[in-house]
Amino acid sequence: MADRPTHPRQTHVQVGSWVGLAALGAVAAAVGLRPIEDGDLFWNLAIGRWLLTHHSLLPAIDPFTYNAGAAPVQHEWLAQALLAWIVDVGGLASLRLLGGAWCAGVAAVAFLALRRRGAGDAVALAGASLWWLFAAPHAVVRPHLLAWLPAWLFVGWVLDAPNATATSARIGAARAWPFRTISPKRLAVGVVIVGVWGNLHASVLLAPAWCAAMVFTALLISVRSGRPVRDAVAPWAAHLLWTSAAASLQPAGWTLVAYALHTPAVNQALSNEWWPLLRADVWASRPFLLVAWAALGVAVAVGLVGAVRQPIWPPRAPGPLLASAAVAHAALTRRMSVFLLLPVLWLVDRLASRRAPWPLTPQLALLVAALCLVAVAPETRGWHQPATLRPGAFPTLATTFVDHAGLGGRPLHPDGWGGYLSWRLDGRVQTYADGRWPLVGAQVIADGVKMLTRQQDAGPVFTRYRIDWLMQPTSLYLRVPPPDPKLWALAWQDADTVVLLRRGPAFSANSRRVCAFYRAWPTLRPRATWPMRARGPAGVAVPTDVPSALSLCQEPPP
């Protein structure tokens, strides 16, 4: 991995680094092999299948949800088509294998990228393990996971030379032409990496943001050190230009910036994934994240002081201001891990510098890596389970019923099930909403919650959205106030899902379809009746008061 060791202690460090790298890959693979439980995967699969079938992007009017209020922003089309193709070839189980292999590969690339930037084996392993500590909770098979690889390739191989001397030589050539600071071959490779990244996920905006931060960092350091400003800023201004152009090589173009700025405003109000990191519920679910965040924040703060007192030249990563901003952003606004790549990378660059104010010994770096991997270990739960989908996460049986019965009209369901319905039903039924919240807007999601929890003023909302049938988790259905038995009929129930028909324009047609289904499958008729009847106090409605749809058929219910 590095130079041949000449001292027993060096040998132990190298062996420990090899063992640690293998452990990092194994932990990352186990995280990626967990059963699928993320609903956003399936609307990506549905869109990807649409792309492969029609050989074009989605139309301006989204075909999957009847509540779409805007044209879909299609910056993830390449990842969606790739995931859909993998499922078509190898089935849904192949995505678990992809997740395991991809996570292990990205962890290895992160280690190699940090090592190439000048870090020793142990320090690079510590940095990769620290980054994985923040990334593991978000390591689900979705387009953003595929974007992790080009992100690390970009910061590890495209912009930085193997050593500071070569970087200084190219910076000195900036007076002739700024692009001479990067070879034509490296520039071509960089355009390809950033271009592919931009068609995988919107996180490609980090590339020009990185270069913009480098312009600012180079400016500060040049003023501090007395070096010519033009020589320092011109190379990174050139990088900012080509990364901006490469990032725009996707269907959304520069409108992706507005989309990326708008998305947090919608998502943060609706999902705990976008809640601030410093919340009490994080202590209960992932306390190690807060501990790691606090440690990283202290390291960046100490590094900020050291960078001001002893600036590094040439600048090799966005400076402490950007790293501090990334840590604060992750803590105060969201739990997304992508921003923490910046302070982790900056921290490793500082430790790898010969002028680092607080060097990290290899032994201590290996200890840090071990602690990070131990903290990540709980995220690997379930990796060995044979089931592809986490039991109870999706309405598998109920969706099969809806498909075979041919229910029509407008459904209501949790938005986390919308993508699964679109994928399983192949777009034959338009869903209420899926994980693309900016597409439908926050009000649609809030109204869906109001109807699913059947709040007192939910009746007119059902009418306004013209809901024809409802699909709801059984546990939630039994906890919230019961629906009006005069307006609803039970079509299906199982341990995970309840399906009700609502009286409206499509009620007669859906009732006939349900009756035809149970005539064709008489052994499933108990699914249209409640397994037990709960009795409340006199005059108090209960969820099982909703009559069976079989009562509408010619033959009496069993």
Sign of CA dihedral 391, 395, 398, 402: negative
User: pLDDT above 90 covers what percent of the chain?
Assistant: 48
H-run or E-run covering 472: strand 469-473
Q: What is residue 175's predicted lDDT score, i.e. its pLDDT?
A: 40
- CB neighbourhood size of 22 (10 A): 12
Q: What is residue 336's predicted lDDT score, i.e. its pLDDT?
A: 65
Q: What residue segments make up the domains of the chain, in order of their start?
A: 8-36+92-380, 396-552
pLDDT in tens, 173-216: 434 344 556 778 888 999 999 999 999 999 899 899 888 888 88
Listed in sequence order, the residues at least 6 apart from 402 whose beta carbon sits closer than 8 Å to its beta carbon are 421, 425, 429, 471, 492, 499
Highest-confidence segment of 2-16, 214-228, 479-493: 479-493
Sign of CA dihedral 63, 64, 66, 70: negative
d(CA 363, CA 13) in angstroms, rounded, equals: 7
Report CA-CA distances (Å) from 137 to 297, 326, 330, 398, 515: 19, 18, 14, 29, 45
Side-chain-side CA neighbours of residue 235 (13 Å): 24
* 36 secondary structure, DSSP code: B
Tokens 């290895």 belong to which residue?
108
For residue 417, the one-letter residue type is W
pLDDT in tens, 333-390: 666 667 778 888 888 877 776 555 556 788 888 888 999 999 888 889 889 999 899 9
- Reply yes or no on whether the pLDDT at 157 is more than 90: no
Q: What is residue 364's predicted lDDT score, i.e. its pLDDT?
A: 85
- CB neighbourhood size of 60 (10 A): 9
What mean pLDDT comes out for the span 223-236?
A: 76
Q: What is residue 324's predicted lDDT score, i.e. its pLDDT?
A: 78
For residue 317, the one-letter residue type is A
d(CA 360, CA 350) in angstroms, rounded, equals: 10
What's the mean pLDDT when you consider all of the chain? 84
d(CA 278, CA 331) in angstroms, rounded, equals: 6
d(CA 426, CA 419) in angstroms, rounded, equals: 10
Report CA-CA distances (Å) from 91 to 31, 84, 153, 358, 539: 20, 9, 29, 50, 51
Q: Which of the four pLDDT bands, split at 50, 70 and 90, describes residue 258?
A: confident
d(CA 418, CA 507) in angstroms, rounded, equals: 21
What mean pLDDT comes out for the span 91-117?
A: 93
pLDDT in tens, 24-61: 999 999 999 999 999 999 999 999 999 999 999 999 99
pLDDT in tens, 541-553: 788 889 999 998 8
Number of residues that make up the chain: 558
